[in-house]
Amino acid sequence: MIKNSIYNCNVIQLSKIHNRAGNITIVEGNLNVPFPIKRIYYLYDIPSNEFRGGHAHKVLHQLIVAVGGSFDILLDDGLNKKIIRLNRPDYGLLVLPGIWRELCEFSSGSVCLVLASEVYDADDYIRDYETFIDYTK
């Protein structure tokens, strides 16, 4: 297992093509996203006081984008923690395997888009924080 750090999880700028009729951002797996995209899902209608996430993945890579509104993402590698605020649809946070994540502080009407490197696999999740800490050692 390669140990990833929160410092390897970076916000990346996505393409933004401006037009008088509006903007477009294009996302392509293995090009401006550093992995093949095998699953896409989005979170919405989340009350501002709720949390999402609360897990880590063993293999899965994710790019998380605030396509509407804003929210915070707490990243934790077992030693260090940092919070990233996402609030622009042309920026995404790359989250690597072995990183615990919690999403919170959702603004009204926010939409969280997640691009994932793998299809859903329940065995890839680490859902208990103490198990995650053991996993990182």
CATH number at residue 58: 2.60.120.10
Q: Is 22 within the bounds of a domain?
A: yes
Helix, strand, coil percent values for the chain (each to nearest 5): 10, 45, 45
Q: What is the mean pLDDT of residues 98-102?
A: 98
Neighbours of 37 (CB within 10 A): 16
Of the pLDDT bands very low, low, confident and very high (cuts 50, 70, 90), residue 17 is very high
Of the pLDDT bands very low, low, confident and very high (cuts 50, 70, 90), residue 3 is confident
> How many domains are contained in the chain?
1
Per-residue pLDDT tens over the stretch 29-57? 999 999 999 999 999 999 888 999 999 99
Between CA 101 and CA 73 the distance in angstroms is 7
| CA 118 from centroid of its chain's CA atoms | 14
Catalytic positions are: 55
Q: Is 93 within the bounds of a domain?
A: yes
- Give the CA radius of gyration of the chain: 15
Q: Is 127 within the bounds of a domain?
A: yes
Domain holding 127, by residue range, is 6-136
Per-residue pLDDT, 60: 97
> The pTM is what?
0.94
Q: Is 1 within the bounds of a domain?
A: no
Sequence-distant (6+) residues with CB within 8 A of 88 are: 66
For residues 48 and 105, is the Cβ–Cβ distance under 8 A?
yes
Between CA 106 and CA 88 the distance in angstroms is 13
